Chains A and B, each alone.
Chain A
Amino acid sequence: MRLDRRAFLRAAGAATGAAAVGGIPDIVAAQKAPSFPKGTKLNILEWVSFVPASDVEFKRLAAEFGKLSGVDVTVDLINMNDLNPRIASAIETKSGPDIIMMISNWPHLYADGLADVDDLAEEIASRDGAYYEHNKKVSVVNNRWKAVPLCSVPATWAYREDWFKEAGASKFPDTWDEWRKVGIALKKKNQPMGQAFGHSLGDPNNWAYSVTWGFGGSEIDQSGKVVINSKETIEAVKFTVAVWKDCLDEGGLAWDDSSNNRAYLASTISATINGASIYFVAKRQFPDIAKVTGHAHMPKGPGGRFYSIGGQGRAVMKYSKNQQVAKEFLRWFMDRPQYDKWMAANDGYVVGPTPYWEKHALWEKDPKLAPFKESVKYGRWPGYPGPPTRKASEALVKYILVDMYAQAIKGMKAEDAVKWAESELKKAYA
């Protein structure tokens, strides 16, 4: 579908009322006069993506929307770390961007400052299929959609296929037990795997949550009761302590989120959990490493296979005077022609929020990225199996699960580390 400005303006005519109902195709069909008042502005706040082409394409699409609709669209990109303070100040002062990116369960943190977008979110789901569970869980607060799911940025295992073969594994191990056996062989050859256990935003939590769930443990149950102190969690902690010595690079306690990227690309580790960024950089700068790099799923434990994926969404701010335009932009962006281009620009770094995007051509182009596409089926949210509430956020920012593992690695008994986590979680979930 191709729209010039005139057609779009005719189309956008129903924007204040009817337009919200049927999306751009219906707007086009409506063929009514534009009703965005002249001088209407739309400000969007996003993170600076780890894939620069993604930002370029997003800005291009935003400008295209501006051109078609006659709306003055501006996009501000800031570091992910700076989004929280900006959102807090925008909500408290009731001024700022009209649309803000939400990462993981932020819609639950900021629900009171976000406009409902039920109609839009459900319209997209009815067209493209139901959202993945984690995308839905983090976006729906008290049965109201507070953000339109945008994507997931999963982290799978990136590993050296050549080294794994040499260590006797023709493919990446499917269970944690098998994983440990290969890991021991690799570390003996001075090719350990690598995992961060510090306080960086992503990597340490990827292990802490996925492995806890994989062994059958969890922070809370569905009713919100703290149940971390279980034999399953203790097993997960014991396993982590054992593989810390047997399989992993013992620098991990001092790692941040970029340390494993550097270590992998410097060939000092054989595998690590990461987004597709390692592979992208390898393709550009270290083609020999890219050739022998594969991606694989998180191994299965007694409790199953899990990924910690919060997903991302976009929220329309409650204070915004341009909510209708903001929703119109989101409707237009999430429509297939636009989203297709943005997803292509991300080259496999993001996975769409609905199964429809599993059919995107980029997955055929590079089969090495397939595990990213599939990982979202195993995605769980902070606080799983309970809801991803603000209490789950408190547990997350206090790094309770990460520190439970880190303290055990530093010598605390597994049972004591789990007890410590239990007492901290009880306060966070009080």
Chain B
Amino acid sequence: MADQTIEPILAKSAASGAPAIAAPVVVAVPKSRRPRGLGHLLEQEHILAGALLAPTLVILTLFIAYPFVLGIWLAVSDKVVGRPGNFVGLQNFWVNLNDTIFLRAFQNTFVYTFIATALKLALGMGAALLLNQHFRFKRIVRAGMLLPWIVPTVLSTLAWQWMFDATFSVFNWMLLNVGLISQRILWLGDGTMAMGCLILVNVWRGMPFFAITLLAGLQTVNPDLHEAAEIDGANAWQRYWRVTLPLIKPIMLVVVLFSMIATFADFQLIYVLTRGGPYSSTHVFGTYAYEIAMRAAKLGQGASISLFLFPFLLMVIVFQLWYIRRSD
């Protein structure tokens, strides 16, 4: 280094048992200038680590921790738009538990999430296994598979709304024309049927995410393992069950985790298709919280509906992370 000075120092013989050297040996070694100021500070590992983490911490605090804490505060207050809220303890939660519409939304949220996630996993796995085969136009098919996932939800849901329309449904038109039904089906006119339609659209939209992510997982499986299993006499099912599945299990759990969180908190799809109707039979936490917080201006009550999600999401996350870590 050009700016380093050389200064002689005494070097002692390191050789154990060596006789003491009478004359000192002068060795030239580079002398480093003592760093000063910011550079000096950053050379200390704990300070550098803190500096590098600071932007992330600031972002997390501002955009995740603050809204979260604010959400908790709102949920335990009687805050309405334009007025300061007062602490009311768990009163909002108690009100929710005595609200038949909320209880229906509670049930719907779980039904919607678990059925939709299970279907997305099953169909996504099937699609991933198919896409993992070699065939012509493989890349185009894989790219096309992602379309439902990348089209803005509001737009694709509006298209579904037309397909489920009570008067002009293309499904009804087809079924009537092929003679499978004699009168139209009211896809969104019955609570159970409407929930089924919502789950169908959610699966259509979310399945590609499962398929592509699981496909990426499948491609990391070493073909030698399959060959070895085949030589040992394992059939296709056994190879899938004993070789493929254990290897892609971590990625599968991560996908399920993300999907469950997103499905629990779904809003757009349901709000566009049914707005919670008919007769409040398709409300989920997200849509009902929006109606109460925004349209009735009861921010505290609305936040308490949203926060009902939190313990369940936390349990899902903790369980899955624990499971993944245990598997490792």
* Chain A residues at the B interface, C-beta cutoff of 8 Å: 84-85, 87-88, 91-92, 109-113, 197-200, 204, 249-256, 259, 262-263, 266, 268, 390, 393-394, 396-399, 402-403, 406-407, 410, 420, 423-424, 427
Contact = CB atoms under 8 A, between A and B. Distances in A.
Nearest to B272: A256
B81 A87 contact: yes
B55 to A, nearest CB: 25
A335 to B, nearest CB: 30
A262 B82 CA distance: 39
A52 to B, nearest CB: 20
B166 A251 contact: yes
A268 B190 CA distance: 21
A259 B297 contact: no
A254 B81 contact: no
Contacts of A252: 166, 189
28 contacts: A92-B81, A109-B296, A112-B83, A199-B278, A200-B275, A250-B189, A251-B184, A251-B186, A254-B186, A256-B275, A266-B168, A268-B167, A390-B297, A393-B295, A394-B298, A396-B295, A397-B292, A398-B296, A399-B276, A399-B280, A403-B279, A406-B277, A406-B279, A407-B279, A410-B190, A410-B279, A420-B100, A427-B95
B1 to A, nearest CB: 55
B274 A198 contact: yes
A394 B294 CA distance: 10
B101 interface: yes
A157 to B, nearest CB: 19
Contacts of A390: 80, 296-298
A139 to B, nearest CB: 16
A87 B295 CA distance: 10
Interface residues of B, number: 39
Interface of B: 80-83, 95, 98-101, 161, 164-168, 184, 186-191, 194, 274-280, 291-299
A197 B186 CA distance: 13
Nearest to A424: B100
A262 B274 contact: no
A268 B165 CA distance: 13
User: Which are the 4 A-B pairs with shortest beta-carbon distances?
Assistant: A199-B277, A251-B166, A112-B82, A254-B189
Given A199-B275, A407-B279, A250 B81 contact: no
Contact of B278 (A88, A92, A406): A406
Nearest to A394: B296
Contacts of B294: 84-85, 88
Given A109-B81, A397-B291, A254 B188 contact: yes
A177 to B, nearest CB: 27
Contacts of B166: 249, 251-252, 254-255, 259
A88 B79 CA distance: 12
Contacts of B98: 427
Contacts of A406: 277-279
B279 to A, nearest CB: 4
Nearest to B186: A254
Given A251-B189, A253-B278, A88 B167 contact: no
Contacts of A254: 164-166, 186-189, 194, 278
B82 A199 contact: no
A423 B297 CA distance: 21
Contacts of A398: 101, 280, 291, 296
A259 B277 CA distance: 15
- Dominant SS among interface residues on chain A: helix
Nearest to A109: B297
Contacts of B191: 410
Nearest to A268: B167
A259 to B, nearest CB: 6
Nearest to B287: A199
Nearest to B197: A254
A262 B167 CA distance: 9
Given A113-B82, A398-B291, 14 more contacts: A84-B294, A88-B293, A200-B275, A251-B186, A253-B278, A256-B161, A390-B297, A393-B295, A396-B295, A399-B280, A402-B277, A403-B280, A406-B277, A410-B191
Contacts of B165: 254, 259, 262
B41 to A, nearest CB: 38
Contact of A399 (B81, B194, B277): B277
Contacts of B297: 84, 88, 109-110, 390, 393
Nearest to A111: B82
A198 B279 CA distance: 7
A266 B275 contact: no
A112 B158 CA distance: 36
A197 B278 contact: yes
A199 B167 contact: no
B167 A263 contact: yes
A88 B81 contact: yes
A23 B98 CA distance: 52
Contacts of A251: 166-167, 184, 186, 189
B167 A253 contact: no
Contacts of B278: 197-199, 253-254, 403, 406, 410
B27 to A, nearest CB: 69
A363 B306 CA distance: 48
B168 A262 contact: yes
A252 B277 CA distance: 12
A109 B293 CA distance: 11
A200 B295 CA distance: 13
Contacts of B275: 198-200, 256
B99 A113 contact: no
A112 to B, nearest CB: 3
Contacts of B295: 84, 393, 396-397
Contacts of B188: 198, 253-254
Contacts of B298: 390, 394
Given A84-B295, A110-B297, A262-B167, A198 B277 contact: yes
Nearest to A82: B294
Contacts of B186: 250-251, 253-254
Nearest to B191: A410
Given A253-B186, A255-B166, A397 B277 contact: no
B292 A266 contact: no
B305 to A, nearest CB: 12
A402 B279 CA distance: 7
Contact of B189 (A253, A420, A427): A253
Contacts of A250: 186, 189
Contacts of B279: 399, 403, 406-407, 410
A228 to B, nearest CB: 15
Nearest to B293: A88
A402 B291 CA distance: 15
B82 A253 contact: no
Contacts of A263: 167
